[in-house]
Amino acid sequence: MRSAGRVVSVAVIVAVGVSADGRREILGMDVSASEAEVFWSDFLGKLTRRGLRSVYLVISDSHEGIRAAVSKVLGATWQRFRVHFMRQVPAHAGRSGRRVVSVFIRTAFAQSDPKSARDQWRRVSDQLRTSVPTLAALMGQAEGDVLAYLGFPAAHRAESHSTNPLERLNGEVKRRTDVVGIFPNKAAITRLVVAIVLEQNDEWSAHRARYMTVETMTELTNTPDITLPAVAT
């Protein structure tokens, strides 16, 4: 994007939520040159002022800024995108051991309840401590963040440890913004991205199938369905 006579890199931020009736919807978007805590606090604050409430779990990449803002602004649990964590494993395990170590770690994800998963995670970490100490340390630091989703209904777990729906939307945003290349200003980016996310929101609204069932959502809350204006900027 051009700014003050220079070309600067910016991030497009899109928030997707699952409402109390189990349907996905776009909550908001913004454009920023920084992903620091102050930006995330402002972004999430805008959503709450528009009526967003009863947020239980936020799933994202590992950014300290969003992690801190989620706790302060929403009071919600933060889940680290599990696949992105697993992509860090090869850097620690080396070429020869990456496959075995990855399978070993995934045994924790296969457990049926949170306690068993935590226990298995720690067993794996302990067994790696001698051969791959840096990975064992990383597992110790990330345990609560990577396994946070296990504290939610079992029926939601396949959807609650990843941001796959958002990743696909981000891919479409990237594809269409790459066509333009350098945008003249923030407003131009916003116009294009709003059009893209509204298309996706309409598609989700038209689907008869819900992302999560009403029955399993009632395990979390009896809050009435929350509908925000389609996009916040």
Q: What is the mean pLDDT of the chain?
A: 88
95 plus 207 within the same structural domain: no
Q: pLDDT digit string (tens) for 161-211?
A: 877 777 889 899 999 999 999 999 999 999 999 999 999 999 998 887 788
CA 152 distance to own-chain centroid: 15
Given 109, 131, 151, which residue is the final one in a domain? 151
Cα pseudo-dihedral 174, 44, 60, 213, rounded to 10:
-100
pLDDT computed for residue 157 by the predictor: 84
Parent domain of 99: 83-151
| d(C-alpha 11, C-alpha 173), whole Å | 11
75 plus 120 within the same structural domain: no
- Please tell me the total count of domains within the chain: 2
145 plus 168 within the same structural domain: no
| d(C-alpha 114, C-alpha 233), whole Å | 37
Q: pLDDT digit string (tens) for 20-69?
A: 888 899 999 999 988 899 999 999 999 999 999 989 999 998 888 999 99
Domain containing residue 8: CATH number: 3.30.420
Q: pLDDT digit string (tens) for 68-103?
A: 999 999 999 999 989 889 999 988 987 778 889 999
Q: Which helix (H) or strand (E) holds 78?
A: strand 77-80
* pTM of the full structure: 0.83
| d(C-alpha 233, C-alpha 29), whole Å | 5
Q: pLDDT digit string (tens) for 114-166?
A: 999 999 999 999 999 999 999 999 999 999 999 999 988 888 888 888 777 77
* Antiparallel, parallel or unpaired: β 6-7 and 2-3: antiparallel
* Tokens coding 56: 């239980």
